[in-house]
């Protein structure tokens, strides 16, 4: 039986080489493409063999949202997609890195904020920089409420009973936290419920309504003793999104009737959250209390972030926002916190203490 297994493995490797153009025999290997992976999958190559091919050959993969969807529909597994994303990221990093002189000492900037540690997780992460160490802030999920009140001010939304009642009815964000730590796909039944808490809140639907993003509980569990926090942000490995479309910012949260904190709001069609089409410009007229901050891009999806001036005591958060205000979202993705919706719904809250130095 062992001999048979060895023969089968040799045959499979030989098949892979044949399918991708005799790459094993060429001194200068032709890069693997999306089409090569689909060909291997359709020829029923085992996942382990496909992964080995991806990891051992140069690659030129297209990892755009549309292509990832096409690959998944063609039968490419999650592990294979992850390997393709990693290979693509490694290729970009190698292409953009200048060749350093031999024996050159690494350059270290004075008072440099440490970068986020490497992670295999696909979920975005935010770390509080505390001296020379990093403290990870828990990833939370904003909840959606729906109201007739126009988004003219954060104060008016905080006083809207429809908003606070919807937030109170939401599913606890512990579900989101558990999902993020398991690096699982967000969009399961429980998390979907958290995004759809406004269902049935309005007895009469109108053509245009106000969607309000909020965080349950009146205060953050992350209490800072400094008014000048710095953060290391990493969303370089989130699948299904164009990473360069986003940047991290700091926003001030508005407490609402001792039940929740309002993050921001915008108007949209009454059935926007159920639409699969990516045609909702969520951020084009989004109301939020944005804090002036310094943001330094370290690489694709990696940033250093700090407030431009000392923050007064209160509730704040780090969020991810589109670099272009006219970026379009699918209402369904926002509702289920998947793809681009995951990026917009993700939030890391913190409280600046009254005794902060």
The better pLDDT of the pair 274, 147 is held by 147
Q: Distance between CA atoms of 310 and 181, rounded to whole angstroms?
A: 31
Q: Which residues contact 353 (CB under 8 A, 6 or more apart)?
A: 223, 224, 225, 313
In 3D, which of 265, 325, 295, 352 has the Cα closest to residue 113?
295
Rg (CA), the chain: 23
Determine the Cα angle at 310 with ends 304 and 313, to 5°: 110
Q: What is the pLDDT of residues 139-187, one digit of tens each?
A: 998 988 888 888 889 999 988 888 888 777 654 333 333 334 333 344 3
Q: Is the pLDDT of residue 338 over 90?
A: no
Q: Which residues, in sequence order, are bridge partners of residue 331? A: none
| Per-residue pLDDT band at 257 (split at 50, 70, 90) | confident
Model pLDDT, residue 297: 94
């Amino acid at each position: 039986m062992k001999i048979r297994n060895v023969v089968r493995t040799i045959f499979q490797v030989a098949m892979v080489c044949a399918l991708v153009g005799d790459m094993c025999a060429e001194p200068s290997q032709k890069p693997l493409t999306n089409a090569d992976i689909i060909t291997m999958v359709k020829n029923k190559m085992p996942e382990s063999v496909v992964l080995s091919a991806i990891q051992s050959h140069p690659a030129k993969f297209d990892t755009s949202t549309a292509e990832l969807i096409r690959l998944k529909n063609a039968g490419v597994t999650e592990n294979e997609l992850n390997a393709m994303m990693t290979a693509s990221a490694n290729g970009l990093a190698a292409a953009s890195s200048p060749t350093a002189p031999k024996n050159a000492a690494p350059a270290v900037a004075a008072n440099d904020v440490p970068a986020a540690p490497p992670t295999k997780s696909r979920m975005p992460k935010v770390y509080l920089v505390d001296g020379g160490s990093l403290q990870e802030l828990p990833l939370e999920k904003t909840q959606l409420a729906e109201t007739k009140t126009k988004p003219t001010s954060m104060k008016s939304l905080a006083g809207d009973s429809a908003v606070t009642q919807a937030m109170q009815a939401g599913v606890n964000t512990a579900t989101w936290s558990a999902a993020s730590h398991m690096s699982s796909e967000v969009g399961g039944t429980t998390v979907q419920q958290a995004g759809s808490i406004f269902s049935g809140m309005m007895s009469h639907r109108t053509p245009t309504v106000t969607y309000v993003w909020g965080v349950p509980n009146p205060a953050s569990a992350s209490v800072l003793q400094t008014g000048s926090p710095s953060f290391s942000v990493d969303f370089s490995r989130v699948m299904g999104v164009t990473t360069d479309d986003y940047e991290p910012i700091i926003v001030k949260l508005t407490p609402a009737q001792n039940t929740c904190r309002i993050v921001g709001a915008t108007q949209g069609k009454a059935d926007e959250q159920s639409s699969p089409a990516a045609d909702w410009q969520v951020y084009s007229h989004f109301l939020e209390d944005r804090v002036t901050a310094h943001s330094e891009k370290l690489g694709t999806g990696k940033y250093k972030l700090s407030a431009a001036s000392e923050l007064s005591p209160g509730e704040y958060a780090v969020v991810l926002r589109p670099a272009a205000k006219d970026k379009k979202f699918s209402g369904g993705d926002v509702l289920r916190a998947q793809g681009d919706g995951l990026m917009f719904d993700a939030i890391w809250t913190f409280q600046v203490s009254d005794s902060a130095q």
